[in-house]
Structure 1
Amino acid sequence: MTTSFTYESAASAGSAEAIVRLISPTDLKDQTAQWVQPQIDIALRACHAKGLFKGEQEQAEIIATLGLHSANHIIFVGIGNAVGLAGLRLAGATAAKALKRIKAQTVQLQVPQEVIDGGNGYSAEQASQALTEGLKLAIYDRLPELRNEKQRYEISKLSFVLAGGGAEPSGYAEKWNAGIARGELFAEGVKAARDLTNLAGNRLTPEGLAAYAENMAREYDFDIEVIDEWTAAEQGMGGLLGVGQGSANPPRMIVLHYKGAPDDNETWGLIGKGITFDTGGISLKKAAGMEEMISDMGGAAAVIGALRIVGEIKPAVNIVAVIPTAENMPSDRAFKPGDIITMMNGLKVEVVNTDAEGRLVLGDGLTTAIRRGATKLVDVATLTGAVLSALGIEATGAVTNDESLMEQVKQASEKSGERVWQLPAYPEYKKQLTSDAADLKNSGGRYAGTITGGLFVGAFAEELPWVHLDIAGTAFLDRSRSWEPKGATGVMVRTLAELVTGE
């Protein structure tokens, strides 16, 4: 189904199956306020009087009009009293979930004057982008594989309208529609990452991920290299080959090039961990929950989703995106604890835990990006279970060697609403990676595992500005929340896109 999101004047918007009205607790206290229709307004006040609807965030009240209005349903969505971009995105998600319940196809979303007036700390474009992202991302459903194909619910047409018929600021419609367009692009990038991450391990192998990247490169005219196991051996990618050698599905190093500023010496290096399935290898994981290890390529999906957005926006930046992809499997060929492998940059690593495999492929990934001209590096990976102990599922953990680049990432995450929390990188933590047998070992032990895992990756940054993002707690959820569904979330797609587009 094709969907249409647009801004329209109240006079030209026409009828809709459902009307969504954003409303705050302050609005509900105004006994003279008029929102949609007198009897419907009275019904909402009755809900408020009983404490059923307070206008708070994530609250929605669906009222059937029963012929009192041209729309079949009015949906009142709470926005709270302090409305920022995160609140607008959340309001969009709350509205989407209510619309899914009544399967509305045509929708009019009425935006209060106070939401679009100045002084809120955001522009009209940012407001419409946030609302659009919330709506589009919360509508998304993971499609199960069923004998009888299931169709996703979609809104066929949604019109944003200024509530109350007030006067629009000059040029507001153009700004609003520009934000809608950007929000739709960002949402589509996230949805692509979610679909890719949700693929079963037998549906997505390293070769399959490489084929996906090749198709995307053709679609957006990116240059692409797909390095197979033989070329990887020639280039000395011991980390990638060591992790992948236990599987019948050979590893790949995928490199995508985007040159939007050929005369600029600066090049972003985006590196995404692409372990298409992780058993832990010889250091085998527990059986319970192992099926979720289809998500161990969530970092790769984030980079791919962000590149889809880049391909549409075409910003004036240079990017080299690197996806080291492999399956980590136990077999008679698998690497094992005690092995010593030589990485692409020449460092020798003692393997003490084969389930600490992501940092090995990322090490070769960073070297690959640097040798292809990257001047600043951001890697994204479902790296450690320890990040769940530290931050739960509420934030992505970050480790860096450069505060300036870290600040850029933080600003991008604030725009996207994807929380990032910086962890310390004290020199003392690096001592936990000291090996008696090699230059370093691939695990620093139980304590500060997210930090030491990140610092292992950072050992391959060659003093370039670098930020590591550990999404092990945020990439795959066991329950839905706000605009993120159960299963793959596509986290960091929008943060990376905001980072490199610089808007």
Structure 2
Amino acid sequence: MNGYYGSEHIQVSMEWKEDLDAGQYDVEAFIVLVSPQGIQDGSMQQVWNSMLMPLMESHLFQAAPFQTYAVPLPGRGEYRTVIFVGAGERPLTSEELRVASAQAARQALKMRAKKLAWELSSPLLTFSVEQNARVAAQAITEGMILGSYRHKQYKKNTSSYKGIEQLIFLRKGKVSAAELLDWEVGIQRGKAYAESTCLARDLTNLPGNFLVPDDLTKAAMEIAEKHGFESAVLDEKQLETLGMGGLVAVGKGSVHPPRLIMIKYQGRAEWDDVTGLVGKGITFDTGGISLKKRVGMEEMISDMGGAAAVLGVMNALGILRPAVNVVMVIPTAENMPGGNAFKPGDIIQSLSGRTIEVLNTDAEGRVVLADGMTYARQQGAVKFIDVATLTGAVLSALGDVATGVVTNDDTMLEEFILASKRTGEKVWPLPAYKEFWDMLKSDVADLSNSTGARGAAITAGLFIGTFAEGLPWIHLDIAGTAFVNKERGVNPKGATGVMVRTITEWILSQEAMKK
């Protein structure tokens, strides 16, 4: 995609053999999931068991969850190493299986391996809480791709190693047609989820001088063209003509003018029951006239993490093609303190007709999302999910561990939380009491864009929810989870692509409910 995202895709396949002979495979590393019980009862291949016993006795490898240990295998054909991955004493959840796979991928990256083979126990389901082949296949595939992600480097001298290229699942014994189909579906879904998450990571990691609103627009249009989606881009003149005063105001201070991006996915014959996905696309946020502190401002390249997330979802929908209708809207701008920048005390009129009193120009995300929500509704959306790196306050409440959620519809929220449990992406609901809505009132306008420090993560979300016009809506504040300072679970240091998998999972669950 012309440099907008460049993560290499991993080819994933499966082979089922009556007799499993690892030596015949042209791979550089062989991955084996190990439990202490499996070593003790001799259910593993003898070649692995004979290697594991000394490791266990010397306490080098105890098969603890997510523990990895690589052992060179000189003279054993084309493959050079076995990577043992600990499964622990009890069956793993799908999230734990996903993390174990990510750890194996990271171990393989250290070895600069390109081709891997994963030996599946017969059946692998003995390791899985869900006891579901499709879930297991999806989790391992996701973990391998997410764990093998590498941040693009801009150094003069870079390695020629391009990462993991191939993963082969190997299983000894006969397999039913139903189980084979489950594995195929799981692998396909795992690849779609993980590759789309890596797309979002790549976009979010781009330096601010590489990704201004026009660049984000080009990346979005490439995704739309790739999948044959209907799309449109509104420039600054069209935004002004239509009355998108919020987006125009936020973008005025930059030499790079604002844009509004729209992509439609129509998976049903009739354009009805449309979900609106609205992502915050502030490609760099200085805070504007209400300038941020110098320390940490470099991380504001991630302030378009919401836009990256919804683009990732659209890419996944293009691959999986569910029978649903979705309209994606990204209001994108740079928030800069230029001579023409909007100022504290300004009154601006949004596309909805509501006026907004600006008390803090660093509370710009909710202002552009207001116009994005209204535009999505005009395009037919009847329920909404907005995604934004919105507030520092959510970091105070939830750190970088969980995404904050605000909603006006408890049923929609319950369905979304169930989806998040399946993907392993943590979300936590915040209350939306009437008193919080009242805090948004202004003496001189319909709304104030800042309510102070108290309840800030909640009121910021409710500001956006105002523009849902009473229709079902969920707000996801990913300010803490979109960009992290150290590797954890399936996430690398830097951009995580958070919420791509959970939103996609929720959308697919909506399709399933209609069948």
Question: Smaller-chain TM-score range?
Answer: over 0.9
The code of the aligned residue for 2:480 comes to G
Residue 69 of structure 1: CA displacement? 7.4
Q: Deviations over 1:281-339 (max 9, x none)?
A: 01111111111101000000001111011112221111110000000000211111111
Residue 122 of structure 1: CA displacement? 4.9
Structural RMSD (CA): 2.0
The code of the aligned residue for 1:45 comes to M
1:468-483 equivalence runs, <5 A: 468-483=475-490
Q: Which of 85, 89, 106 is residue 77 of structure 1 equivalent to?
A: 85
- Name the structure 2 match of 1:91: 100
- Secondary structure at the aligned position of 1:311 is classed as helix
Question: Are 2:278 and 1:278 equivalent residues in the alignment?
Answer: no
- Secondary structure at the aligned position of 1:175 is classed as helix
- Name the structure 2 match of 1:343: 350
- Contact 1:18–1:73 (CA<8 Å) still a contact in 2? yes
Residue 448 of structure 1: CA displacement? 1.8
- Secondary structure at the aligned position of 1:200 is classed as coil
- Name the structure 2 match of 1:108: 117
Cα distance in structure 2, aligned partners of 1:253 and 1:68: 57
- Which moves more between the two structures, 204-213 or 397-406? 204-213
Cα distance in structure 2, aligned partners of 1:423 and 1:349: 24
Cα distance in structure 2, aligned partners of 1:70 and 1:361: 55
Cα 1:152–1:198 change in 2 (3 A) is: farther
Length-normalised TM-score, structure 2: 0.92
Identity of aligned residues (%): 46
Question: Are 2:148 and 1:139 equivalent residues in the alignment?
Answer: yes
Q: Deviations over 1:190-231 (max 9, x none)?
A: 111111111111111111111222222222111112111111
Cα distance in structure 2, aligned partners of 1:266 and 1:35: 50
Cα 1:494–1:371 change in 2 (3 A) is: same
Q: Deviations over 1:253-276 (max 9, x none)?
A: 111112111325200100000000
- Name the structure 2 match of 1:24: 35
Q: Deviations over 1:79-113 (max 9, x none)?
A: 23231110111111011011112122222211223
Cα distance in structure 1, aligned partners of 2:63 and 2:242: 60
Question: Are 2:289 and 1:251 equivalent residues in the alignment?
Answer: no
Cα 1:194–1:317 change in 2 (3 A) is: same
Cα distance in structure 1, aligned partners of 2:308 and 2:160: 23
Cα distance in structure 1, aligned partners of 2:466 and 2:140: 40
The code of the aligned residue for 1:77 comes to V
Question: Are 2:201 and 1:156 equivalent residues in the alignment?
Answer: no
1:371-410 equivalence runs, <5 A: 371-410=378-417
The code of the aligned residue for 2:398 comes to L
For structure 1, list consecutive stretches of 5 or more residues without a partner in the other structure: none
The code of the aligned residue for 2:33 comes to L
The code of the aligned residue for 1:399 comes to V
Length-normalised TM-score, structure 1: 0.94
Residue 160 of structure 1: CA displacement? 1.0
Cα distance in structure 2, aligned partners of 1:490 and 1:403: 25
For structure 2, list consecutive stretches of 5 or more residues without a partner in the other structure: 1-7
Residue 51 of structure 1: CA displacement? 3.5
Residue 9 of structure 1: CA displacement? 1.6
- Name the structure 2 match of 1:67: 75
Cα distance in structure 1, aligned partners of 2:413 and 2:9: 39
Cα 1:203–1:216 change in 2 (3 A) is: same
Cα 1:211–1:170 change in 2 (3 A) is: closer
Q: Which of 48, 58, 69 is residue 66 of structure 2 equivalent to?
A: 58
Q: Deviations over 1:89-145 (max 9, x none)?
A: 111101101111212222221122353259832521221111001001111101111
**Aligned residues between the structures:** 498
- Which moves more between the two structures, 285-294 or 74-83? 74-83
Cα distance in structure 1, aligned partners of 2:127 and 2:62: 25
- Contact 2:16–2:173 (CA<8 Å) still a contact in 1? no
- Name the structure 2 match of 1:129: 138
Cα distance in structure 2, aligned partners of 1:192 and 1:152: 20
- Contact 1:84–1:122 (CA<8 Å) still a contact in 2? no
Cα 1:22–1:176 change in 2 (3 A) is: same
Cα distance in structure 2, aligned partners of 1:458 and 1:387: 17
The code of the aligned residue for 1:494 comes to R
Cα 1:231–1:68 change in 2 (3 A) is: closer
The code of the aligned residue for 2:70 comes to I
- Which moves more between the two structures, 170-179 or 464-473? 170-179
- Contact 1:7–1:173 (CA<8 Å) still a contact in 2? no
The code of the aligned residue for 2:434 comes to P
Residue 249 of structure 1: CA displacement? 0.7
- Secondary structure at the aligned position of 2:467 is classed as coil
Residue 406 of structure 1: CA displacement? 1.0
Cα 1:428–1:394 change in 2 (3 A) is: same
- Contact 1:3–1:156 (CA<8 Å) still a contact in 2? yes
Cα distance in structure 2, aligned partners of 1:218 and 1:415: 30
- Contact 1:382–1:471 (CA<8 Å) still a contact in 2? yes
Cα distance in structure 1, aligned partners of 2:298 and 2:396: 20
The code of the aligned residue for 2:337 comes to P
Q: Which of 432, 439, 453 is residue 460 of structure 2 equivalent to?
A: 453
The code of the aligned residue for 1:391 comes to L
- Name the structure 2 match of 1:440: 447
- Contact 1:262–1:318 (CA<8 Å) still a contact in 2? no
The code of the aligned residue for 2:350 comes to M
Cα distance in structure 2, aligned partners of 1:71 and 1:35: 19
- Which moves more between the two structures, 58-67 or 356-365? 58-67
Residue 42 of structure 1: CA displacement? 4.0
Q: Deviations over 1:440-464 (max 9, x none)?
A: 2111211221111111111111000
- Name the structure 2 match of 1:302: 309
1:360-371 equivalence runs, <5 A: 360-371=367-378
Cα distance in structure 1, aligned partners of 2:508 and 2:229: 16
- Contact 2:367–2:449 (CA<8 Å) still a contact in 1? yes
Q: Deviations over 1:34-53 (max 9, x none)?
A: 53445x53442333234432
- Name the structure 1 match of 2:3: none
- Name the structure 1 match of 2:4: none
- Contact 1:143–1:152 (CA<8 Å) still a contact in 2? no
The code of the aligned residue for 1:65 comes to L
Question: Are 2:238 and 1:231 equivalent residues in the alignment?
Answer: yes
Cα 1:139–1:407 change in 2 (3 A) is: same
- Name the structure 2 match of 1:293: 300
The code of the aligned residue for 1:26 comes to Q
- Contact 2:112–2:161 (CA<8 Å) still a contact in 1? no
- Contact 2:94–2:128 (CA<8 Å) still a contact in 1? no
Q: Deviations over 1:335-383 (max 9, x none)?
A: 1111111111111111111111100001111000011110000000000
- Name the structure 2 match of 1:6: 13
Cα 1:26–1:425 change in 2 (3 A) is: farther
